[in-house]
Structure 1
Amino acid sequence: MDRATAPSRPSGAEGGFGPLRAFIAVGAVLILLITGFAWHSVDSLISSIERIGGLGLGGGRDGAVDILLVGVDSRADAHGNPLSNSERAMLHAGDEVGTNTDTIVLIRVPNDGRSATAISIPRDSYVDIPGMGKGKINSAYGATKEAQRLKLIKQGVSEADAEQQSTQAGRQALIKTVANLTGITVDHYAEVSLLGFVLLTDAVGGVDVCLNNTVDEWMSGADFHAGRQKLDGPEALSFVRQRHDLRRGDLDRIVRQQVFMAQLVGQVLSAKTLGNPGKLKNLSDAVGRTVVLDDHWDVLAFLHQLKDLTGGQVSFETVPVADLNDTTSDGESVVRVDPKAVEAYVAGLVDGRSADHGEPTIDPASVRVSVFNASGVGGLAGQVAQALRAKGFQEGLVGNYTGPAITGSRVLAVNTSNPKAKAVAQALGGLTIVPDASMSPDSVSVVLASDYSGPGSAVSRMFDFSSGTSSTATPVPPALPIDAGQNGPKCVN
């Protein structure tokens, strides 16, 4: 089975160049709306926003408002009008045709007024797309839209009507894809186009960022000196879309986006952007041209409901990744995510945090986990230990389980409320925590039975992938925590 034999009872073990990644812009609009700007300015800001219906939103009663924020690679504005040649040149948009949603974020706003959580989904996550099969999540919108457009054209529908109807189908497909992956019911939808990122950044007078090292990466256009600096819209676009020459690729790009958004929120709040007539006009113009919201979203009522949101604080998270550099049988590079692990992770950030009344998040690096194999599957404990290391946990003992027979996989801890045990259970797809009074408060152990299908299992490694995919996962080091309440920009690579 595994490389070591455990004690009879595990009781003493210590526990590519891409277009806009524009969720920053959408998030900026949302956070501006929910963090208490002058109420008399709301009407002018939201009156020109493009509204859409029929998206199949809402229906969840989970104690929060769940908002899907989408950054769209589009060569048109929110009303379908093509960008001017000068705007396209400014954005380095190119002439390619298509619609990818290369930035996808869920923002969870609890109904009890606690601070919001923004959860990023990597653009290359390989997922089930309704009606399309397996594919990268950033293609759900565009692939569905194009397939539907061609179908409508063949049926004799006009180009304009086919464009409108297929765009709707693309949005619906993305909403369903995200809901299926995360287990979250999407209540509201917000979308921003390529141009929106630049206009919104410039509307607040530029945003401060900080880099640990000098950057010169031609594919994104990122060319910046080390240290703190203020970026205008086009410069910021290059800053947040760089992924080459970054250790974690797209995940580090997500970190760039998150720190940028956190700083943008802080600058807007401190500078009272919405109390400045000139900045307010620029912001209103930017929102009107580039933002789309669902038509059932009563923004004014939502604002009043959330006016006590704690100081504009927003925490930023990224869904767990099983393999950052996986490939499909035809050689396509993808990010492998385990839907069970993602759903458990999101539930832990949301429902688990609510149930625990704000219990602080556990740093995986502070948890040492021992893993024991009772499944009869050779090497399973080692594979799961590797998966836990990739999530940032420390490795304890790894070996075979020789204790009393068990009927299901479990996490062992001194009691079921142990926060470290909860973190491990969540990371492994929601395992049951079983109390063991013989264990110390700092000890966490995992016992794997034949039912285990979480991270590190054969099912997880092969989930919807053919035998042509890689068998060794690329470790994904955890990112540092980010929030919107810090003083000054967080320095990044």
Structure 2
Amino acid sequence: MLLTSRGRRIGGRVALGVVSTLVLGATGYAWSQLHRLDASLVTADVISPSGRVPAEQIGQPLQTAQNILLVGLDSRTDANGYPLPQNVLDALHAGDSTDGGDTTDTMIVVHIPVGGAAATAISIPRDSYVDIAGGLGKHKINSAYSRAKANAKSTLSAQGLSGPQLEVQANEAGAKSAIQTVEQFTGLTINHYAAVNLAGFYALSNAVGGVEVCLKAPVHDSYSGADFPAGQQSLSGAQALAFVRQRHDLPNGDLDRIARQQAFLSSMAKNVLGAGTLTNPAKLDALMSAVQGSVVLDKGWDVLSFARQLRGLSSGSIGFATIPVQSLSLQTPYDGDAVQVDPAQVREFVRTALATPAVTASSESASQGTGVRPVANTSTPSTSSTPAEPPSLSSPRVSSASGCVN
């Protein structure tokens, strides 16, 4: 029988940074900060010529749909290739600089239709068993980045590169592999790329003063550091990272972790877009500093122009979805248990999700000055004790983020 994760599930660490970056259009002060941000972000040359947005479209109303790949890196280096301090890793329950492995533990494709007044975010489970681009074999999709990075690092080291320069160039190779793998898996062309590391998520959640979440039951997990009571609570910093990283002792393992990340992102988007963050100079400065130190964007992405194109986007016009999966315990020759997926089914699901009236109406509503009915309403998790629905065996769907999670 076809097993699917709830449409409500979505990865979220890096999306928080990008959503925060893309919607800073509320005030003149926010625009001045975007100018500062645009000049100081770390960039990487990772988008293929076929995915680059034509120069004549930059700064104009969104004329063609765009797809953004957001990844959360399990990396122990910062955006500039320098190792994270051990005290930071200790606070994040992240081991030491040799742990991790630069896997993309969160992978989300955000589709923005013509007009830019809506967005659909599609999550890809990190253990999806797929063909890795570049002839690297069939493995879990989260290893596309680390496998290509390891190969590049070996070659670049032999050429004499070392230190941060080696890390940065090897990271570009990893990003290109991740992008190409997602493209061939989903059938979408990726136009933009953004990545954030562990410390970046810590800083972003602190910058907005915490995010409201709701748990069905108390949890205690020594691996991630998650130690929370049941019910609604506000999390930031190391607590926020532990909440979205936990996957041990959850009923549905990594799928429940995706559900948490999606709920966190939903609440975070509402916080940033509707709680005064963009009109509060102190909060906005903190947000800008967090993004500058943690997010890597593709080279040539004009953030200021892109934000102008999305000025109609609100927290209520962001829809969430997760690709369909067939099994959560596929036995593989070399990678242990993986998530079984059917690429043809995934591509059909993506086409259907992005062809819904709510998504395709974006350009019409933008030109008419009317509101877009979102694919899914993004709202703060419910304060009631009513649990969110259990994992579904029905067809995958685009859904909202509400209710308590495991």
For the Cα contact (< 8 Å) 1:126–1:337, is it kept in 2? yes
TM-score, length of structure 1 as denominator length: 0.67
| Counterpart for residue 34 of structure 1 | 22
Structure 1 residue 120 and structure 2 residue 123: aligned?
A: yes
CA distance in 1, matches of 2:357, 2:149: 37
CA distance in 2, matches of 1:480, 1:116: 11
| Counterpart for residue 490 of structure 1 | 403
* Partner secondary structure for residue 258 of structure 2: helix
CA distance in 1, matches of 2:152, 2:247: 31
Q: 1:208-357 maps to which residues of 2 (within 5 A)? A: 208-310=212-314, 312-330=316-334, 332-353=336-357, 357=361
Once the two structures are TM-superposed, the CA of residue 28 in structure 1 deviates from its matched residue by: 2.0
* Partner secondary structure for residue 325 of structure 1: strand
| Counterpart for residue 35 of structure 2 | 43
2:257 maps to a residue whose letter is R
For the Cα contact (< 8 Å) 2:70–2:109, is it kept in 1? yes
2:68 maps to a residue whose letter is I
For the Cα contact (< 8 Å) 2:76–2:83, is it kept in 1? yes
For the Cα contact (< 8 Å) 1:200–1:287, is it kept in 2? yes
CA distance in 2, matches of 1:479, 1:72: 27
| Counterpart for residue 3 of structure 1 | none
| Counterpart for residue 89 of structure 1 | 90
Once the two structures are TM-superposed, the CA of residue 213 in structure 1 deviates from its matched residue by: 1.1
* Partner secondary structure for residue 481 of structure 1: coil
Once the two structures are TM-superposed, the CA of residue 167 in structure 1 deviates from its matched residue by: 1.8
For the Cα contact (< 8 Å) 1:205–1:232, is it kept in 2? yes
Write 1 or 2 for the structure with the bigger share of strand. 1
Q: 1:33 to 1:319 in 2, by over 3 A?
A: same
Which is further off, 110-119 or 203-212? 110-119
For the Cα contact (< 8 Å) 1:126–1:334, is it kept in 2? yes
Compare relative contact order (CA 8 Å, sep 6+) and give the higher one, 1 or 2.
Answer: 2
Q: 1:15-30 maps to which residues of 2 (within 5 A)? A: 24-30=12-18
CA distance in 1, matches of 2:102, 2:145: 7
Structure 1 residue 108 and structure 2 residue 111: aligned?
A: yes
State the Cα RMSD in Å: 2.7
Q: 1:391-470 maps to which residues of 2 (within 5 A)? A: 392-393=393-394
Once the two structures are TM-superposed, the CA of residue 303 in structure 1 deviates from its matched residue by: 1.3
For the Cα contact (< 8 Å) 2:196–2:295, is it kept in 1? yes
* Partner secondary structure for residue 81 of structure 1: coil
CA distance in 2, matches of 1:187, 1:480: 22
2:348 maps to a residue whose letter is A
Q: 1:223 to 1:354 in 2, by over 3 A?
A: closer
CA distance in 2, matches of 1:480, 1:357: 16
Deviations 1:157-192 (A, max 9, x none): 322454333221111100000001100100000011
CA distance in 2, matches of 1:344, 1:252: 24
* Partner secondary structure for residue 55 of structure 1: coil
Structure 1 residue 56 and structure 2 residue 59: aligned?
A: no
Deviations 1:17-60 (A, max 9, x none): xxxxx953421232223333322332123332101224316158
| Counterpart for residue 191 of structure 1 | 195
- Structure showing greater radius of gyration is 1
* Partner secondary structure for residue 44 of structure 1: helix
Once the two structures are TM-superposed, the CA of residue 260 in structure 1 deviates from its matched residue by: 0.3
* Partner secondary structure for residue 124 of structure 1: coil
Q: 1:78 to 1:59 in 2, by over 3 A?
A: closer
| Counterpart for residue 481 of structure 1 | 399
Q: 1:263 to 1:84 in 2, by over 3 A?
A: same
* Partner secondary structure for residue 492 of structure 1: coil
Q: 1:177 to 1:103 in 2, by over 3 A?
A: same
Deviations 1:339-368 (A, max 9, x none): 001111111111354797589989xxxxxx
2:336 maps to a residue whose letter is E
For the Cα contact (< 8 Å) 2:33–2:288, is it kept in 1? no
For the Cα contact (< 8 Å) 1:34–1:306, is it kept in 2? yes
Q: 1:346 to 1:86 in 2, by over 3 A?
A: same
1:51 maps to a residue whose letter is T
CA distance in 1, matches of 2:19, 2:359: 25
- Aligned residues between the structures: 356
